Structure 1
Amino acid sequence: MEFFSFAKEHGRTVTHYDSNFTLSRLAITESRTVISYMYLEENGLIGYHMAPVNQILYVVQGEGLVCGENKEHKRIQAGEAVFWTKGEWHETKTERGLTAIVIEGETLNPELLANINARK
């Protein structure tokens, strides 16, 4: 048995695209799926950028705003998730802070969850 920490102090600060958050990798699969834990402090930002692969952001704690290519920000909170397709421009920001699990991978398919857990 091995123990690993994804605590904020073991993560790395991300600043590209004018971002301001801490990223801790949770796992990387052989099919190049990356699973990470993100810590956005008060006024944190994952800057506007193009998704290099399909990705889904699961908000675990807190709330914030997300947008796609139309730059129309929509509120997201703990217990909700958002999916962006490869090549889609997007951004995440928060005034009060949020933590999220992010899964990124070419074969990620949200349609498998859409009929079960779609947000109205």
Structure 2
Amino acid sequence: MKIYQLSKENGKNITQFKSSFIMSRIIETEASASIGCMYLEENGVIGYHQAVVPQLLLIIEGEGFVRNEQAQYYQVQPGDAVFWAKDEWHETKTDTGLTGIVIESEQLNPSAFMPIKNDIRLRL
């Protein structure tokens, strides 16, 4: 599991077409991708399971906790992007509610666009 940081500081100022905004790239893939929005209510949970394909969870609102094979949970908040590799066991839960965008694809490389905030690997 790796936690990346979505941030304005890592974005690019866009001025084409008389625009004025900052774009922080998240992912680029040539393989098909599934993108969805998940809404976890108070005490919500995405149960402990194996990732069928690489997954990237972008925390948009609220806060919660994530883990991989380790029993330790890590707090996540808006601006965090959690990446799980294919076959990696993981869980997400929240006490107060959490909204996130999930991107699933055989070809995900978030390191190409976002800095790592925390790299949590299974310690054997």
SS at match of 1:107: coil
1:71–1:90 contact (8 Å) kept in structure 2:
no
Whole-angstrom distance in 1 between the partners of 2:100 and 2:40: 8
Shift of 1:30: 8.5
How do residues 1-120 of structure 1 correspond to structure 2 at under 5 angstroms? 31-113=31-113, 116-119=114-117
Shift of 1:67: 0.1
SS at match of 2:72: coil
After the TM superposition, list the runs of 4 or more consecutive aligned residues in structure 1 that deviate by more than 2 angstroms: 29-32
What is the CA RMSD across the aligned residues, in angstroms? 1.7
1:37–1:100 contact (8 Å) kept in structure 2:
yes
TM-score by length of 2: 0.68
SS at match of 1:46: strand
Q: Aligned partner of 2:115: which letter?
A: N
Structure 1 unaligned spans of 5+? 1-28
Q: Count how many residue pairs are aligned between Structure 1 and Structure 2.
A: 90
| Aligned-pair identity (%) | 53
2:30–2:107 contact (8 Å) kept in structure 1:
no
Q: Higher RCO, 1 or 2 (CA under 8 Å, sep at least 6)? A: 2
TM-score by length of 1: 0.70
Structure 2 unaligned spans of 5+? 1-28, 119-124
The structure with more radius of gyration: 2
